[in-house]
């Protein structure tokens, strides 16, 4: 079992323990899929190495209407 699966299983067990009595089996299956996707996205974010001085990729400029 990979680290990712361990993390996903752990998080899902917490959700199931807290809310399992209020969710059907189909709903729990959907929650499990969602947890798996979140863990996968988190793993990809952890792969990105940043240095202390790295700037954001873009600069936010709010829309102020047509100029």
For residues 12 and 29, what is the distance between their CA atoms, to the nearest angstrom?
10
For residues 43 and 36, what is the distance between their CA atoms, to the nearest angstrom?
11
Residues 6+ apart with CB under 8 A from 32: 8, 12
The boundaries of the domain holding residue 13 are 3-47
- Whether 59 is in a domain gets the answer no
pLDDT tens digits, the chain, 67 residues: what are they?
A: 455 569 999 999 999 999 999 999 999 999 999 999 999 999 999 999 999 998 877 778 889 987 6
- Whether 10 is in a domain gets the answer yes
> Packing angle between helix 25-47 and helix 3-19, nearest 10 degrees?
140
- Whether 65 is in a domain gets the answer no
- Whether 36 is in a domain gets the answer yes
- Whether 39 is in a domain gets the answer yes
Residues 6+ apart with CB under 8 A from 58: none
Please give the model's pTM, rounded to 2 decimal places: 0.70
- Whether 16 is in a domain gets the answer yes
- Whether 37 is in a domain gets the answer yes
Count structural domains, the chain. 1
């Amino acid at each position: 079992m990979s680290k990712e699966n361990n993390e996903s299983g752990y998080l899902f067990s917490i959700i199931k323990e807290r809310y399992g009595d209020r969710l059907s089996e189909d709903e729990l299956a959907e929650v499990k899929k969602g947890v798996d996707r979140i863990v996968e996205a988190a793993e990809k974010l952890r792969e990105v190495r940043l240095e202390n001085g790295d700037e954001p990729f873009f600069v936010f400029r709010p829309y102020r209407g047509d100029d």
